[in-house]
Amino acid sequence: MTSTDPFLAACRGLPHGRTPVWFMRQAGRSLPEYRAVRGEGSILDAIADPSLAAELTLQPVLRYGVDAAILYSDIVVPVSAVGFGVDVRPGVGPVVEQPFADESDLERLRPLEPETDTPYVLEALKILVDESPVPVIGFAGAPFTVASYLIEGSPSRTYGRTKALMSGNPDLWFRLIDRLADLAISSLRSQIDGGAAAVQLFDSWAGALSPAAYERFVQPATRRVFDAVPDVPRIHFGVGTGEILHLMADTGCDVVGVDWRIPIDVARDRLGPDTVLQGNLDPAVCLGSIDVVEAEVADILRRNDGHPGHVFNLGHGVLPETDPAVLEQVVHQVHEMSPNLNSLRNHRMT
């Protein structure tokens, strides 16, 4: 993979031929070939089967022609592997039998030894390094978002217990997210050593926090994670992050994910002209008519205005009920339209 690879070049804001595109949760229930091989068991079991995980990783690459593969895995894999007691319930999300409540629960978060705790991750990567025609993205859950699952015990709308722990016992909070940062670092480093050409840190729910809370309670641990993986492009992702976008951008990441709430041009105005952005089609729009999808894709590319620092993506994961034909069309359209935009931009700049 050279630096003229469109995805890797875009992540660095370097010139390249066309806007790269991939989709969060591109390997998932929206694909019939996924449903055919995946079965009904826990996702953690599927992840623990390296050849299955590699196959699921490659399915959307083959079908859609996306410019990056994201390792088929889950953000709770490291905490689960060290024995915290987490499962991922289909249709619900991560569920924790005994939620994190006090100091004694820190003992349930020992350091991760990737070679022995998650050998299947490294084996899947080994297959993908040989077989993937596009760069493979490794990933981890950001300390805040993983902490929120461990504390709440199940997906939450309010993050009440998490915020109560933060503000009520900041010492314990920082010890918790420091351990989670260490887990993310060990996991990401091993994925990079195993061949991941870029990484994404999922802080999906950070947008639930006020800017002051994010800055004090979350940003330092997140920055420590990014600082530990300087050798590949680092993507930072969350939803509903408009008010903390500048703080999320200021963590050492190379690419800032934006969801559909923030138009690409508005985000770049806010963060500076050189900012590399990933996004931002609303996955729910992909459930509607194809004309509207086309218009939205065109609008995103127009707002990006031919900037080389743009990785096209959805603003959140593919919804299970999405018609794969729609995503196929999106990939086609992004690839077709982006050179025109580049030349338009070049034209205007002369």
Write down the least CB distance from residue 348 to its own copies, Å. 24
Regarding 212 and contact with its own copies (CB under 8 A), the answer is yes
| Contact call for residues 203 and 163 (beta carbons, < 8 A) | no
The region of 113-121, 208-216, 306-314, 340-348 touching its own copies under the rule CB under 8 A is: 208-216
The 3-state DSSP class for residue 101 equals coil
| Cβ-based burial of 292 (10 A; exposed 0-12, middle 13-18, buried ≥19) | exposed
Write the DSSP assignment of 17-44 as a string of letters.
SS--B--TT-SSTT-HHHHHHH-SS-HH
Chosen residue from 33, 282, 294, 305 binding its own copies by CB under 8 A: 282
For the question of residue 108 being annotated catalytic, the response is no
CB 262 within 8 A of CB 240: no
Select from 167, 340, 343, 346 the one that contacts its own copies (CB under 8 A). Answer: 167
Among 287, 339, 344, 346, binds its own copies (CB under 8 A): 287
Give the pairing of strands 86-89 and 310-314: unpaired
Nearer to its own copies, 233 or 279 (CB): 279
153 binds its own copies (CB under 8 A): no
What DSSP state is assigned to residue 250? T
Work out whether 294 is an interface residue with its own copies (CB under 8 A): no
Structure tokens at 298: 């065109």
The Cβ of residue 243 has, within 10 Å, a number of other Cβ atoms equal to: 12
Q: 86 and 80 in contact (C-beta within 8 Å)?
A: yes
Q: Kindly state the smallest distance separating residue 289's Cβ from its own copies, in Å.
A: 5
Between residues 12 and 169, which has the closer beta carbon with respect to its own copies? 169
Minimum Å gap between C-beta 113 and its own copies is 35
Single residue of 321, 343, 344, 346 touching its own copies by CB under 8 A: 321
| Beta carbon of residue 162, minimum distance to its own copies (angstroms, whole number) | 8
Stretch that binds its own copies, among 31-39, 52-60, 188-196, 277-285 (CB under 8 A): 277-285
Q: Indicate the burial class of 149 (C-beta count within 10 angstroms; 0-12, 13-18, 19 or more).
A: buried
Q: Is residue 227 a contact point for its own copies (CB under 8 A)?
A: no
Q: How far is the CB of 210 from its own copies (least distance, A)?
A: 5
* Catalytic residue list contains 149: yes
Choose between 32 and 155: whose C-beta lies nearer to its own copies.
Answer: 155
Looking at 38, 163, 234, 335, which residue binds its own copies (CB under 8 A)? Answer: 163
Query: Judged by CB under 8 A, which stretch of 123-131, 157-165, 177-185, 329-337 contacts its own copies?
Result: 157-165
The rounded distance, in Å, linking the Cα atoms of 278 and 259 is: 9
261 binds its own copies (CB under 8 A): yes
Start-to-end Cα distance in the chain: 32
Q: Catalytic residue among 34, 149, 159, 214, which?
A: 149
Q: Say how many residues touch its own copies, by CB under 8 A.
A: 38
268 in active site: no
Our answer to whether residue 74 is catalytic in this structure is yes
Supply 245's token pair. Answer: 């976008």
CB atoms within 10 A of CB 249: 21
Query: Whose Cβ is closer to its own copies: residue 7's or residue 173's?
Result: 173
How far apart are the C-alpha atoms of 345 and 76, rounded to whole Å?
42
Minimum gap (Å) between residue 293 Cβ and its own copies: 8
Q: What b/e sequence results for 318-340 when a residue is b if at least 16 CB atoms lie within 10 Å of its CB, and e otherwise?
A: beeebebebbebbbebbbebbee
Name the residue among 41, 40, 37 with its Cα closest to residue 27.
37
Q: Which is catalytic among the residues 18, 38, 189, 234? A: 38
| Chain residues that interact with its own copies, rule: CB under 8 A | 158-168, 207, 209-213, 240, 242-244, 260-263, 266, 282-285, 287-289, 292, 299, 316, 319, 321
By annotation, the residues acting in catalysis are: 25, 29, 38, 74, 149
